Amino acid sequence: MSRKKSYSLGVLFTIFFSLFISSLTFAADKDIVTFQGVVTELDWKKKMIIVNERSFSFNQNTIVHNEKGSPVPQENLKTKTWVFIEGTKDKSQKKLARKIYILPKYIDEKEKRLYPFIK
C-alpha cells in the first residue's frame, strides 16, 4: 500500500470516527429541554409545574435555585413567577425538571450573559 493511500485511509477513518462520536453527542442533547417562562400552575400533590403551557414533573432530586444560582427550598416556587427550567424527556416524551431557576423577570438576549445557567 502506498503512503498516499495509507494517509487517505487514515484521514477518512478520522473523519468517520469524529462524525460518529458527534452524532452520539447530538442525540443525547436532544433529550435536554431548556426554556424560560411564567409558572401558570403548580400542583404540589402531583408534583407538576406548568410553564408556558408545558407541563413538567418534578421530584425530590429537582433542585430549585434563585437568580444567582444558589439552591433554595422547592417551596419558593410560586405561580406567576418567571423561571428557567432545565429538564429531560424520557422515551415516552414525559418531561422531568432537573433544575429550576427562579428569575426576577424575562431575561432577553442582552441580559443572558448575566445568568451563566441560561445557555
46-80 pLDDT, tens digit each: 999 999 999 999 999 999 999 999 999 999 999 99
pTM here?
A: 0.72
CB 49 within 8 A of CB 87: no
CB 51 within 8 A of CB 38: yes
82-114 pLDDT, tens digit each: 999 999 987 777 899 999 999 999 999 999 999
DSSP for 66-107 reads -TTS-EE-GGG--TT-EEEEEEEE-TT--EEEEEEEEESS--
The structural domains of the chain, with segments of one domain joined by +, span 1-30, 32-105
CATH topology of domain 32-105: OB fold (Dihydrolipoamide Acetyltransferase, E2P) (2.40.50)
